[in-house]
Amino acid sequence: MTVTGTGKESGSRTFFTRYPLVLLVMLSALAIALLSACSGNEPSPAGDDQSAAAITENGNGETEPQKGTGTGQETSEEADPGKSSSEDPASAALPGLKPSGEPLVIGFTMDTLLEERWKKDRDLFVEAAEKLGAEVVVKSANGDDARQIAQAETMISQGVDVLVIVPHNAEATAAIVSKAHKAGIKVLSYDRLVTNADVDLYVSFDNIEVGRLQAEAIMKLVPKGNYVYIGGADTDNNARQFKEGAFDALQPSIDRGDIRVVYDQWSKDWKPVYASENMREALEANGSDGIDAVIVANDATAGGAVQVLEKNGLAGRIPVAGQDADLASIRRIVAGTQTMTVYKPIGRLAEETAKFAVALAKGEQPAATRRVNNGKIEVPSVLLPPIAVDASNIDETVIADGFHSREDVYGAENAND
């Protein structure tokens, strides 16, 4: 058969006849290009592991993975099923993960969640721990010793990696520490110290300093006169430390005879109703003119005392100190019925404790700045500084830190004043 045509055509046909694979490759490339143009340049299968939702635009108009929604590293791992997720540098950087990539589990047993302060602690602690990659199991005992011990025992039997305790009864919870240690689980005391036990770490504020700040603030206003002291729960070591700090500051004036403590009583389980009873008893024993100042162990109990003073027309006339910087107490300070509180930046407490809990779970011993005797051992401790708050520095402390919003403190109508 004779082929006719120009030499060029003849040469071309001869080339493709001799090299048909080249023709096939060229036609395939043309087809792929046409299909890509028709589909709007959609990502190729190699990029499908990273969805559009995982992409954001940076300041240069380029696309990059959105944090937490998918990265190039995650995509490459999906392409290699044999690669362990624990080898992901992003995951490995989280201290709250086990070598297997699973989260460390922190058991958080709390005395109560009835007070505003402890709800904040719970939420902040869980948030801080989860940022580290850990998981938190939270249980509240509602002021019941037996229930707290039972809840802790359940956590221990379920194999938590570390136990964090806010004890209701400082001595009763010593049993929890012993049982946890037998199971190889370390124990951290959060804000309240477990006494007569081998606690591995105690993280709190300087509670003696809290009491000093309360007394010093009131003594500036009332350097001489009759004082009422209303303590917290006598089962709580913190309550004893608050009182110790307050009386350390008061003692020189007591010794000189300038200050006389005319009433001194604990408030069972930190309940405001018992603080109210104490305030009524103090007024009955000394008369409305026989009390010049009141120091109360925390803001919830201070609220109970202020209610009684209000009923007797004395709110705002008798200085009252509290501590915890509860929203209700800050509002009372603005209204003039409570004089001061002590702010303990619990966001920092929660963050530091979460880090320490993770370290303990991994067999590390965090560096302690102090040692606090709990009746059995000198417990390695980290004590954070508290801050006195009155009407003059609310904005610079609790509002500036985001602990309370300006609107919550002053009301929507006065928030911008």
Q: How much is the pLDDT for 136?
A: 98
Whether residues 233 and 185 share a domain: the answer is no
> Which amino acid makes up residue 262?
V
How many distinct structural domains can be found in the chain? 2
Whether residues 283 and 396 share a domain: the answer is yes
**CB of 406 closer than 8 Å to CB of 395:** yes
Q: According to DSSP H, which parts of 39-115 are helical?
A: 72-79, 89-92
Beta bridge mates, 164: 108, 188
> Which amino acid makes up residue 83?
K
Whether residues 311 and 215 share a domain: the answer is yes
Is the Cα torsion angle 50, 55, 58, 60 positive or negative in sign? positive
CA distances from 40 to 33, 34, 44, 45, 47 (A): 11, 10, 11, 14, 15
Q: Is residue 264 part of a domain?
A: yes
Q: How much is the pLDDT for 221?
A: 98
Q: Is residue 338 part of a domain?
A: yes
CA distances from 150 to 118, 132, 155, 156, 167 (A): 20, 28, 9, 10, 13
Whether residues 220 and 301 share a domain: the answer is yes
Q: How much is the pLDDT for 415?
A: 64
Beta bridge mates, 163: 107, 187
> Which amino acid makes up residue 166?
V
Q: Which among 246, 250, 314, 329 has a CA at the least distance from the CA of 280?
A: 314
Average pLDDT, 10 consecutive residues per value, the chain (417 residues)? 39 45 51 48 35 29 31 31 42 84 97 92 97 97 95 97 96 96 98 96 96 98 98 94 98 98 97 98 97 98 98 97 97 98 95 97 93 96 97 97 95 72
Whether residues 393 and 270 share a domain: the answer is yes
Give backbone dihedrals phi and psi of 400, rounded to 5 degrees, phi first. -60, -35
Instruction: Check which CATH number belongs to the domain holding 117 and give it.
Output: 3.40.50.2300
CA distances from 182 to 103, 177, 187, 198, 312 (A): 23, 9, 11, 12, 55
Q: Is residue 216 part of a domain?
A: yes
Whether residues 325 and 249 share a domain: the answer is yes
Domain limits for position 111: 105-199+347-384
Element (H, E) at 336: none
Q: Kindly report the pTM of this predicted structure.
A: 0.71
